Amino acid sequence: RVHLAAVGLLTLLSIVAATGIRVSAGVWNTLTVLKLLPLVGLAVIASLVKPHPAVAAATDWHAVHWGRAALTAVFVFQGFEIVPVVAGQARDPSRTIPIAVLGSLAISTALYLLLQRGAVAGVPHLATSQAPLVDMGDAYGGGGFGRIVSIGKRVSAMGICFGMVATTPRFLSALVPRTRFGRESPHGVPLAALATTWVLVTFLISLGSLGQLLALSSLSVVMQYLLVALALLKFGLRREHDLRPRDAWSAIPTILVALVLVSGAERGEWAVAAASIVLSCVIFFAVRRRLA
């Protein structure tokens, strides 16, 4: 039933995304505001109110999979990298895109620092909690506020899914621009790429849990960072695109951190990631050879 509901939600979000960026932006902004309200409220309350007394639960720190925890934590750092994906349809992108990227990073950093501080102080069993934000709401505001946070968490998940549905097809259309996948509708949406994304995500939902999909999303983002860092290192060492070796220094720590993070992936996630890379390479080189 969970998988069926997820597929239904995915279908609904895909239909909305197919209507174009104007409607999608309105839905996306609404979901963003709705999910931020309980999170901001929780961060403020945690900063002003002492948590309710609770019995601390012992945590076996040796049983914690730190690589997995780090990979899961990467999920909260996602989002800013998709802003340039839709930059071509933004008004005055040279001004608005830097504000959007830097602003999202600054606001999310401050918000997550406050939430992390409150969770550590108010949730004694944080390492084993299945719903840390809800437990945090219970600790600071009682069960009623915890239920509000739970609703906000569901809205947040919907907003994240919609962002993926609206932007992921554009990566596929950029991979093969002069094909049916790169062709956009009058509303500026690559419908063939959107339909392909729906099919692939529906298939992944049928294979595993939603938690595994979130981890796979984190893995894909880390691999994007890794590939960009490798490209920067290559261009810097070869002095291409007006880059010099000293311009590529930031690629080294990025590569090291990315390699540590991907160690938290499970075998099934690695299999899906490897299959996606192989499929992307096959499509790219096949189309490139055809258009040559």
Q: Which residues contact 183 (CB under 8 A, 6 or more apart)?
A: 173, 190, 192
Supply the pLDDT for residue 67: 73
More confident site: 66 or 189: 189
Helix axes 267-291, 210-238, angle to 10 degrees: 50
Asked if 43 and 114 touch (Cβ cutoff 8 Å), the reply is yes
In sequence order, what are the residues at sequence separation of 6 or more whose Cβ sits closer than 8 angstroms to the Cβ of residue 261? 67, 70, 71, 74, 218, 222
Chain-centroid distance of CA 133 in Å reads: 18
pLDDT at residue 210 tops 60:
no
Q: List C-alpha distances in Å: 168 to 182, 195, 197, 200.
A: 12, 11, 7, 11
Of 23-32, 82-91, 112-121, 208-217, minimum mean pLDDT range = 208-217
Residue 179 has pLDDT above 70, yes or no: yes
pLDDT per residue as tens digits for the range 99-121: 888 888 888 888 888 988 888 88
Average pLDDT of the chain to the nearest whole number: 80
Pairwise pLDDT comparison (248 vs 157), residue with the higher score: 248
CB atoms within 10 A of CB 161: 19
Note the residue count of the chain.
292
Q: How far is CA 267 from the centre of its chain?
A: 20
